[in-house]
Structure 1
Amino acid sequence: MPTFMNDPTMPTPSFPGSHMVIDDHYVFISGLTVVDLSNGHAARGDIKEETRLIMRALSRMLETVGGSLTDILRVDIHLTDLHAIQDMDSVYSEHFEPGRYPARTCTESPNICGGGNVEITVMAKRQPQSEQ
């Protein structure tokens, strides 16, 4: 049976959804933007800092359920300007072991909710209960 969770450090979603859905095998984290983070508003407009804060939040969220960024299997990234992909990638790639990057989609979405410039959604494997 899936567990539907909201991160207590973030505002309750303003949409009909959960921050995380966890089942026996996977952790699904809804799209995260700096607007979702209490310390993120000051970073808005700096794609590198937005990416850095989002990746840190994703790491923290996965840790709360016994996981880490190394458990991520798939990532969906939306950028307001696809020309900023190299700046975003320069920070994003720091969070993974070279050559062990998750499967990924990156698209341009000119209107990201809340006015951020990057939104990241992840799907991660869940460690078996006995290994947590």
Structure 2
Amino acid sequence: MANESRNADRNHSAYQAEYVFIIDVKEVTKTASYININATLKTVLKKGMNQTVSVGDRRSFVILMHCGKNLNVSPGDIYLVMGMHNTHWTNSDRTQYVLTSDTWFEKFPLESVCRLPSPPASCQVSENFKGCSLKG
């Protein structure tokens, strides 16, 4: 039952989110104040208002240390990220997303796991977006 509830929460978050990405973590930097995750966009499921986003783009995701102190993110990990555009900003050369309590940030199974005869429900996220407009 807990798994069904989590899937329902994920689907609801995806419906409300302005952007939905699957990211490939490249580098994780921790300071006393924050965790900075540099990643490549592996899949763009929903662009929202950010029309310049493309697969392969590098993005930075920032988490305040007191919010992410128990988060174990490593290079090579794949994550599903869903959030609102009021939590990101772009300067001259990069876009940063601040991960807040309103952001969905969940480890995503590897492609080999999703190809199994009985893949976990989290593999179906991308299937739920097929056929939807990527323009927001």
TM-score per shorter chain, which class? under 0.3
Q: Is the helix fraction higher in 1 or 2?
A: 1
User: TM-score, normalised on structure 1?
Assistant: 0.24
Structure with the larger strand share: 2
